[in-house]
């Protein structure tokens, strides 16, 4: 995520079939392991409990859900820009983490017409953004199951948020701009809407002919046109947090190819930004290849970026397809969003309070890019930031991001400063080995600040508690020790 403006420093019918897969107990309170019935598939009523209505993040208590872990979403959707109607089918694979008498999905808006579990009708209720599903019979801990949700309506994005303003599925004149951080995916499909539950995705999206659909990952097949509509088939085969999913659509100029390092490229611009297509393509390719030498091998199968004409006021690192909302990104912003493919996308946070692990790292990547591309040392950038920073930066400790102010400048800039001070303390060899070890150890998974501190001390062989305490957790300006 990269904010723009004064806060920027340097972010009808749908059927959803959900097959739910095993995960850790952190996704909700667990019940004692039930004695399986014949075949070991269903639990007794006594052994099954309701899944929690939240995944366990105290700052976002209603985000995500407990009792199961999604493994795959296959969203088969259709969207009509003139009527703003969303329709389609999706299937998702996963496993229950406790005996379940009922469970929740996150869904904002829409009219739900029918829900089934393993092809059997299930009862359901709505409670705010919670869709509460009661299967015909309880589900045993460890059992795979499928959910089909039929729903219809017009997408209603999150508006006037203290974090990003408007986000989620945002209808536009020629399609939609879809960027969902932190919890906007529930505005377009039922899901476990929290980064702690990552899954793979298939997208099959049908739109009026002449409209382009851009989703995560790679195309599974060429677009197919019939009867005045075109269907686009995309697949993201690596685990992805729900907020990184996109089906942005409209009229786009597209350029494809490969980076010099051989990574497939997909870049697209709204016609209003046509003159920036080559710059977006070339810069995204260069930064992807360079970061692969700094942070370790690129974690996904393709890279690129999209400039749309919706003036969002931010850029978002949608997995494999960073999105730039209504502005021409410079090289530093592109370097920031591409760095997120390692920090935030491949290695994802477990709780939102640790957001500096995404934004501090991507901001420091901007400094590293300037060091590499312009010859301006990161030390110079650090000194400049430290000299001009005002009180608000120091009053907000970036190690504990706040629910109502997730994208505070401190999370970005002071987070980056923390990494630079760490680099100076342990030296370049240990520092860059630490970054590569971090991205390798937690590839496609989730991690915490505590795990990063522990790894930093292990790799460097030095106690670092004082450094992280001063730069991440104290509400005052740290002293730079020469």
The more confidently predicted of residues 406 and 10 is 406
In this chain, the answer to whether the domains covering 12-170+178-243 and 252-346 adopt an identical fold is no
Structure tokens belonging to residue 146: 């499928």
pLDDT at 2: 78
- Sorted by where each begins, the domain ranges of the chain are 12-170+178-243, 252-346, 352-473
Read off the pLDDT of residues 185-236 as tens digits, 9 standing for 90 and up.
999 999 999 999 999 999 999 999 999 999 999 999 999 999 999 999 999 9
Structure tokens belonging to residue 352: 């939102």
Of the ranges 6-10, 94-98, 214-218, 342-346, which one carries the lowest mean pLDDT score? 6-10
Q: What is the mean pLDDT of residues 123-152?
A: 94
Structure tokens belonging to residue 47: 């052994």
Confidence of residue 482 (pLDDT cuts 50, 70, 90): low
Which residues are registered as beta bridge partners of 296?
A: none
Q: What is the mean pLDDT of residues 331-345?
A: 98
Domain 12-170+178-243 carries which CATH code?
Answer: 2.60.40.1730
* Residues of the chain above pLDDT 90, percent: 83
Does the structure show a pLDDT above 90 at 93? no
Q: How far apart are CA 277 and CA 72, in angstroms?
A: 32
pLDDT at 45: 54
The topology under which CATH files domain 352-473 is Neutral Protease; domain 2 (1.10.390)
Read off the pLDDT of residues 384-404 as tens digits, 9 standing for 90 and up.
999 987 888 999 999 999 999
DSSP for 74-139 reads EEEEEEETTTTEEEEEEEEEEEESS-EEEEEEE--SSEEEEEEETTEE-EEEEETTEEEEE-SS-B
Q: Is 12 helix (H, G, I), strand (E, B) or coil?
A: coil
Read off the pLDDT of residues 31-53 as tens digits, 9 standing for 90 and up.
333 334 333 444 455 589 999 99
Q: What is the mean pLDDT of residues 165-183?
A: 96
DSSP for 176-236 reads EEEE-TTT-GGGTS-B--STTS-EEEEEEEEEETT-EEEESSEEEEEEEEETTEEEEEEEE
* Residues of the chain above pLDDT 70, percent: 90
Q: Tell whether domain 252-346 is in CATH 3.40.50.300.
A: no
Q: How far apart are CA 65 and CA 61, in angstroms?
A: 9
Q: How far apart are CA 481 and CA 259, in angstroms?
A: 41
pLDDT at 105: 95
Q: What rounded mean pLDDT belongs to the chain?
A: 91
């Amino acid at each position: 995520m990269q904010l723009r403006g004064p806060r920027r420093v340097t972010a009808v019918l749908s059927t959803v079939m959900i097959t739910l897969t095993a995960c850790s107990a952190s996704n909700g309170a667990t019940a004692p392991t039930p004695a399986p019935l014949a075949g070991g598939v269903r639990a007794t009523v006594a052994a099954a409990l309701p899944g929690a209505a939240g995944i366990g993040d105290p700052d976002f208590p209603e985000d995500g859900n407990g009792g199961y872990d999604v493994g795959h979403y296959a969203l088969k959707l259709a969207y009509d820009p003139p009527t703003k109607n969303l329709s389609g089918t999706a299937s998702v694979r996963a496993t229950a983490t406790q005996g379940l008498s009922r469970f929740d999905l996150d869904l904002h808006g829409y009219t739900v017409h029918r829900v089934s579990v393993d092809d059997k009708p299930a009862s359901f209720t709505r409670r705010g953004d919670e869709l509460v599903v009661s299967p015909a019979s309880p589900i045993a801990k460890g059992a795979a199951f499928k959910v089909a949700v039929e729903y219809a309506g017009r997408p209603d994005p999150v508006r006037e948020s203290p974090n990003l303003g408007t986000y989620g599925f945002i209808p536009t004149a020629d399609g939609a701009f879809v960027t969902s951080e932190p919890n906007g995916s529930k505005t377009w499909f039922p899901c476990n809407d929290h980064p702690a539950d990552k899954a793979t995705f298939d997208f099959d999206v049908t739109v009026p002919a002449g409209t382009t659909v851009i989703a995560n990952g790679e195309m599974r097949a060429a677009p197919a046109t019939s009867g005045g509509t075109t269907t686009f088939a995309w697949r993201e085969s690596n685990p992805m947090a729900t907020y990184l999913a996109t089906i942005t659509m409209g009229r786009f100029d597209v350029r494809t190819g490969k980076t010099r390092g051989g990574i497939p490229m997909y870049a697209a611009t709204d016609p209003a930004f046509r003159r920036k297509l080559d710059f977006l393509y070339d810069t995204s390719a260069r930064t992807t290849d360079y970061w692969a030498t700094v942070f370790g091998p690129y974690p996904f199968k393709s890279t690129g970026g999209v400039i749309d004409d919706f003036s969002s006021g931010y850029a978002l690192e949608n997995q494999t397809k960073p999105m730039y909302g209504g502005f021409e990104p410079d090289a530093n912003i592109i370097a920031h969003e591409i760095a997120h493919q390692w920090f935030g996308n491949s290695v994802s946070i477990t709780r939102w309070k640790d957001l500096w692990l995404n934004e501090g790292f991507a901001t420091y990547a901007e400094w590293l890019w300037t060091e590499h591309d312009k010859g301006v040392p990161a030390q110079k950038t650090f000194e400049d930031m430290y000299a001009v920073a005002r009180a608000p930066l120091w009053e907000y400790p970036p190690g504990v991001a706040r629910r109502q102010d997730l994208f505070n400048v401190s999370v970005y800039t002071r987070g980056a400063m923390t990494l630079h001070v760490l680099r100076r303390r342990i030296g370049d060899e240990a520092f860059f080995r630490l970054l590569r070890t971090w991205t390798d150890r937690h590839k496609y998974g989730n991690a915490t600040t505590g795990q990063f501190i522990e790894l930093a001390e292990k790799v460097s062989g030095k106690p670092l508690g004082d450094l992280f305490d001063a730069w991440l957790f104290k509400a005052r300006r740290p002293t730079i020790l020469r």
